[in-house]
Structure 1
Amino acid sequence: MATTVQKITLSSSRDIPFNKLVLSQYNVRRVKAGVSIEELAEDIARRTLLQSLSVRPILDADGVETGMFEIPAGGRRYHALELLVKQKRLAKTAPIPCVVRDPSTDILSEDDSLAENIQRAPLHPLDQFRAFQALRDKGRSEEDIAAAFFTSVNIVKQRLRLVSVSPALLDVYAEDGMSLDQLMAFTVTSDHARQEQVWQALGNAWSKEPYQIRRMLTEKTVRASDRRAVFVGLDTYEAAGGVVLRDLFQSDDGGWLEDVALLDRLADEKLKAEAETIAAEGWKWIEVAVDFPYGHNRGLRRLEGVTAALTEGERAAIEALNAEYAKLEADHAEADELPDDVDQRLGEIETALAAFDNRPVAYAPADIARAGVFVSIGAEGALLVDRGYVRPEDEAPAADPELDSDSAITIEPGRNPPAASVAPRAIITVASPASEPDEEDDEVIKPLPERLVTELTVERTLALRDKLATTPSVAFQTVLHKFCLDVFARYLASGTAMEISVRSASFPVQAQGLKDTHAAKAIAERHKAWEERLPKDKDALWPWLATLTDDEQDALFAHCASFGVNALYEKADRYGGSVSAHTVDQRLADADRLAKAVDLDMVQAGWRPTVENYLGRVPKRRILEAVREGAGDHAAELIDHLKKGDMAKEAERLLADTGWLPEPLRVSDTGDATPDGNGADEPESEALPEFLAGNEDDGVENLEEPLTLAAE
């Protein structure tokens, strides 16, 4: 005999006037969450009620229905309707769709309230992204979508960007094979093929951090903060067809420029145009480059031009600006932090005053005819024009040929101008860094490349010069040491009647950006300050020196002596040339003694290990050795599986604040040259970044607001 299946009877639905409804005290929701009541009310007013209220009849003492109904499930919708009634946008007797529960049921009101709130599947984020895209495809603007769902336009743009990722990767995300943070990282580029290539390249690697994805997608790009990009301008670059990659989910400092070749061409063209304008001034030669190396003007005489005098109006403007600056500072002297408008105004005043200091300099026509100009891009992306340099071969007085100011600029990369030139010529020299052979990861750590050691010791020489210039007592002692070598017969000396000269070593091998380092800038500023004080007439120099105080003489002496520092490593001449291995060893030993005397610390001097200056230039074993010394064994183990490029970039992050230095930058015979990475008190939590801590997170919370149904 077949078993009879009991049929289910659903609760009936009916429209009940709003004034017959009251909120039940059995509603389990107590904590406010999700869309606000005000936003829900606006949504109901726009699209009406999407889900009926669940109600129960209120019975009197005899169990008879009173005509009133309580709401155990749907309290937020009730409050939203109540707000609309108070605003007189909904009638008190307006019929409200309700599902009426049988009062005789044995299911508790709390049971209904709890079930309604937890027995529903949340919308998958990808479904929401695609729904936004569907609205966009049907003509709704981003602003309309944001207004309809009470969110910001930026969040709508973010979600539309997420759904624009490669469909293959969206499928991976839908199957929980990728976190939301990883999906966000892929939005940096719209190239689906490149996105899929990067995901495939990561393969089965245990670490697929978003920063790695972003780095791989932008590895062949240029930051918008690059001096070339600032100089050219993003508008010009994009107008020429260039693409700027942007990250909508975290700060990207203006994004990345994808077409580096186009950027270089635009920078060259703009520099050439500027050079053509400057050529009309009548200079004999013009050299143009994106960036000149440190010491590029060595051996050239700088013309002494005449700075344009201030007009009465300019003097009055300077006085007014200084008075305003002083008043603003006085008015906010007690403030812990300056208001934004005041801080902005102070910056504007400083810029205006600096413009008065950088007034144009006039030169004699005869000097212009034999001198030249360096045109480049400054570190901040502004045009840098350095006028008035005379080459030694142009010093001899001679009848200058008539200059044609309208002559074209000849571009001859990699060549120097001839000794005599009949027309202004601009030479654009784009120096490319010398390539070094890739080293294989052998079992034995090989010595550092000689070029790298030379570049590192160049930086140390500059830092040592800067330190010696601020330590007059040691500078005196250093020169006194040379005096003793010359005076006492027991020492081997080749000097004559007390001759001393300061010979400044040049840096034919140097890392890019050397002139922008702290030591280089400090030396240049100090040199310029003394140069401005020195008398122009050579015969007046001796009596002028006699007018200086002892401290001033000490400081000037130390500054001049510092230019004699040579702590460079050089490759010895195997055929017995001027530089022998013994000479280099003695030089470096002497440099160590000097570094100890002035208490040189390359970390305090601003040196940090980066991919460009060290980590990308050495084998993997050197990188791991550096991380092990600076950040500890555990940090080295976390990156030992990475490829060299990723390992170098991650090592830069791990070593950023450890104070680690490579051997050429350390002071020998000291036990504390580098941090002990194997000690018992290893600061692992400080050395390791958060993304290597192993915490997994699905990343959904990063969307700035919960992903909830708009009307729930």
Structure 2
Amino acid sequence: MATAKQKITLNASRDIPFHKLVLSQSNVRRIKRGETIEDLAASIERRGLLQSLNVRPTLDDEGNETGMFEVPAGGRRYRALELLVRHKRMAKTEPVPCVVTDAHSTVPIEEDSLAENFQREDLHPLDMFRAFQTLHGRGASHEEIAARFFVSPTFVQQRLRLAKASPKLLEIYEQEGMTLEQLMAFTVTDDHARQEQVWEALENSWSKEPYQIRRMLTETTVRVSDRRALFVGVDTFVAAGGNVLRDLFEADNGGWMQDPALLDRLVGEKLKSVADEIAGEGWKWIVVDVDLPYGHNHGLRALAGIPADLTEEERAEREALRAEYDRLEAEYGEVDDLPDDADRRLGEIESALEAFESRPMIYDPAEIGRAGVFISIDRDGNLVVDRGYVRPDDEAPETADGDGAGDPTESVDGRGNPSVHRTTINVGAQASEPEEDEGEAIKPLPERLVIELTAHRTLALRNAVGASPHVAITALLHRLVVDTFGQRSSNGCVEASIRHSYLPVQDAGLKDSPAAKALDERHHAWKGDIPLDDDEALWAWLDGIDDASRQALLAHCVSYGINALYERPNPYGGGGVSQHGLDQRLREADRLSAATGLDMVDAGWRPTVDNYLGRVTKSRILQAVREGAGEQAAQLIDHMKKGDMAREAERLLADSGWLPEPLRLIGDFWGTEAQAEEVEALPEFLSGDGGDSSDVSADAAQAIAAE
């Protein structure tokens, strides 16, 4: 018969008065680390002793117990209790929970001390974060949690910030798939989809350092230290709806502004406001740019201005500041390290005196009317206004006797009446009234406009694919075949998923477009039928519907993965789309458009002032009218100002079926010959029947075109 293995016997626990305990000299801990004795004492006072002391009875020379106990494991707890007794916050006879080891044990007493410290495992940061999160959810502030656990409020904020990471990344970190430093880097942004996208791009890379993760997450943002951000100010940016990313784990110099387009708009608006104010001084032109190019004033004549005179009060203030500056310099001239107050005051005086020296210049009014101003921002975000430059073409012509041709501010119109001088303000590459002749060159469409146009196309294409099960199934099968037989690999089980791509840039009318309304109606109709709360019920429901319904539902789901959006390619790889990927995306969008028979005209898109005509150059407007309504229609409006031209072009193109390039299929052709038969009928006196239209006065043509 087999003998049962002897079970272990655990050491007994008992309460021992504190004055019966002494610290053992066999404790292996010699070096002080981590939490201080004072902090531990405060914790015991708040929560009690959470962990018993490990003790052994002391023996006399004959091997008998003396009634005293030495503490080989738990020395820091013993010293914290000792501190509480010394400060009269605990009685010296207070019973202390102890685990008593046999005094005659064969295990050396040093081993007890080593085992308790060596086998201890630190709390996982995720467990700490979740505990902090629970306390915070119960109403405890960062400061209160920090005080309870004797850490800094910043430490608590950092651990709570781990909640900003995607649950998928938290799971990877928990399974030791990434380091804590890498996880911290992901908390720069709250966008879980972007976090996961960056990790997918880096997880198989040899280099996935935290700084690289932060760079990829913030590559489409603007640092707060950027000159544009300093010029506008963080408060103004946030008040306008912008978001500032902050990194609690690294020095971020103020963070990153997340919406560069909003920042550029605020910069432009502020610079334009300054330009409008300076225009009231009577300058002929004003050039505004965030960063003027090198040599921007080359070949221009600089006006010689006279500094504005100081008033008596300003002179007295300047002298008082100089006297105070001299007094402070004399007082602290021999001191190696200036006091903070004195150093700050000297800086204030220097700034005030510099303002007196850089006071506005006074220019000859006769020169102001032919000269201009440059407005920009310096590297520190300060406004720079550089007045008084004359272009060679604006110099006053010389008469026979050497005198100038006259005051440039006094000109007349075609009827002999004095004209009103208006300043031309150029903001970057855009000019405000009065307009200059743009020439015949057709400039590329603005990038934001292309993105908005392709957002319309994406939504219309989703609607078309959702209504065509055959095309949707073909598109899905194409995706699966490429993944199965191509060179790509996936990490999941099937990895055939629909990632709903959002449209970050869109115009105000997109949500009210026919495609948007049709998609919403179809989506809500399906959502009302599908049992989404129970996975088993969903499977049974899908298994039971007829084939036509299954195909229609599949088409609807596939449609949400359609992305025909133009976006700026990322030349650095990683996040975003490459040029090759963008080209492939747009080619496939054309193929889907052809397969579904998508026509953006039938989808409800029409060129308007808001969505196209008011946001392109006059050359682009005329080109659109030539292609959509014919050359004669373009000639009717080519003399108009841009605003009037855009409004009239909207009327002329309303039923023409004309589309801008981003909305056309490859192979679509627009030209005056193709549209010759569809030109809007002209009035009799402008048509060939009533005589040569070239004899018609410009005033009559303008009146007809602007009706």
TM-score bucket of the superposed structures, by smaller chain: 0.5 to 0.7
CA deviation after TM superposition for structure 1 residue 200, in Å: 0.7
| Alpha-carbon distance between aligned partners in 1 of 2:350 and 2:426, rounded to the nearest angstrom | 38
1:179 to 2:182 alignment: no
| Alpha-carbon distance between aligned partners in 2 of 1:414 and 1:193, rounded to the nearest angstrom | 36
Query: Residue type matched to 2:33 in 1?
Result: A
- Residue number in structure 1 paired with 2:19: 19
CA deviation after TM superposition for structure 1 residue 134, in Å: 2.2
| Alpha-carbon distance between aligned partners in 2 of 1:27 and 1:150, rounded to the nearest angstrom | 25
Q: What do the CA deviations read for 1:258-293 (whole angstroms, capped 9, x no partner)?
A: 111100000001111111221222223222222211
SS in 2 for 1:161: helix
1:414 to 2:417 alignment: no
Q: 8 Å contact 2:227–2:381 — kept in the other structure?
A: yes
* Cα pair distance change 1:75/1:196, threshold 3 Å: same
Aligned length: 430
| Alpha-carbon distance between aligned partners in 2 of 1:268 and 1:432, rounded to the nearest angstrom | 19
- Residue number in structure 1 paired with 2:326: 323
RMSD: 3.4
Query: Residue type matched to 2:242 in 1?
Result: G
- Residue number in structure 2 paired with 1:196: 196
SS in 1 for 2:150: coil
- Residue number in structure 2 paired with 1:294: 294
| Alpha-carbon distance between aligned partners in 2 of 1:417 and 1:96, rounded to the nearest angstrom | 84
- Residue number in structure 1 paired with 2:348: 348
* Cα pair distance change 1:264/1:330, threshold 3 Å: same
- Residue number in structure 1 paired with 2:261: 261
| Alpha-carbon distance between aligned partners in 1 of 2:571 and 2:197, rounded to the nearest angstrom | 27
TM-score (norm 1): 0.56
| Alpha-carbon distance between aligned partners in 2 of 1:217 and 1:148, rounded to the nearest angstrom | 34
CA deviation after TM superposition for structure 1 residue 406, in Å: 11
Q: 8 Å contact 1:165–1:190 — kept in the other structure?
A: yes
* Cα pair distance change 1:87/1:173, threshold 3 Å: same
Q: 8 Å contact 1:325–1:349 — kept in the other structure?
A: no
Matches within 5 A, 1:460-609: none
CA deviation after TM superposition for structure 1 residue 402, in Å: 6.7
- Residue number in structure 2 paired with 1:10: 10
% identity of equivalent residues? 60
Q: 8 Å contact 2:72–2:113 — kept in the other structure?
A: yes
Query: Residue type matched to 2:317 in 1?
Result: E
Q: What do the CA deviations read for 1:45-92 (whole angstroms, capped 9, x no partner)?
A: 111100011112223334333322211111110100010111111111
Matches within 5 A, 1:151-300: 151-300=151-300
- Residue number in structure 2 paired with 1:63: 63
SS in 2 for 1:247: coil
Query: Residue type matched to 1:90 in 2?
Result: M
CA deviation after TM superposition for structure 1 residue 410, in Å: 6.2
| Alpha-carbon distance between aligned partners in 2 of 1:327 and 1:348, rounded to the nearest angstrom | 17
| Alpha-carbon distance between aligned partners in 2 of 1:138 and 1:260, rounded to the nearest angstrom | 38
SS in 2 for 1:331: coil
Q: What do the CA deviations read for 1:399-440 (whole angstroms, capped 9, x no partner)?
A: 45579999797667636799xx799xxxxxx99999xxxxxx
CA deviation after TM superposition for structure 1 residue 131, in Å: 2.0
* Cα pair distance change 1:178/1:285, threshold 3 Å: same
| Alpha-carbon distance between aligned partners in 1 of 2:158 and 2:445, rounded to the nearest angstrom | 39
| Alpha-carbon distance between aligned partners in 2 of 1:167 and 1:45, rounded to the nearest angstrom | 37
SS in 1 for 2:55: strand
| Alpha-carbon distance between aligned partners in 1 of 2:571 and 2:145, rounded to the nearest angstrom | 52
- Residue number in structure 2 paired with 1:148: 148
SS in 1 for 2:99: strand
Q: 8 Å contact 1:284–1:369 — kept in the other structure?
A: yes
Matches within 5 A, 1:616-655: none
TM-score (norm 2): 0.56
- Residue number in structure 1 paired with 2:315: 312
Q: 8 Å contact 1:328–1:342 — kept in the other structure?
A: no
Q: What do the CA deviations read for 1:671-710 (whole angstroms, capped 9, x no partner)?
A: xxxxxxxxxxxxxxxxxxxxxxxxxxxxxxxxxxxxxxxx
1:38 to 2:41 alignment: no
SS in 1 for 2:369: helix
Q: 8 Å contact 2:288–2:426 — kept in the other structure?
A: no
Q: What do the CA deviations read for 1:323-357 (whole angstroms, capped 9, x no partner)?
A: 0453266222xx3x656555444433332332221
Q: 8 Å contact 1:281–1:405 — kept in the other structure?
A: no
| Alpha-carbon distance between aligned partners in 1 of 2:8 and 2:570, rounded to the nearest angstrom | 75
* Cα pair distance change 1:405/1:169, threshold 3 Å: farther
- Residue number in structure 1 paired with 2:91: 91
Structure 2: runs of 5 or more not aligned? 397-403, 412-418, 437-442, 448-568, 580-707
Q: 8 Å contact 1:285–1:417 — kept in the other structure?
A: no
| Alpha-carbon distance between aligned partners in 1 of 2:198 and 2:23, rounded to the nearest angstrom | 55
SS in 1 for 2:68: strand
Structure 1: runs of 5 or more not aligned? 424-429, 435-615, 621-642, 645-712
* Cα pair distance change 1:146/1:422, threshold 3 Å: closer
Query: Residue type matched to 2:371 in 1?
Result: A
CA deviation after TM superposition for structure 1 residue 207, in Å: 1.4
Query: Residue type matched to 2:251 in 1?
Result: S
SS in 2 for 1:375: strand
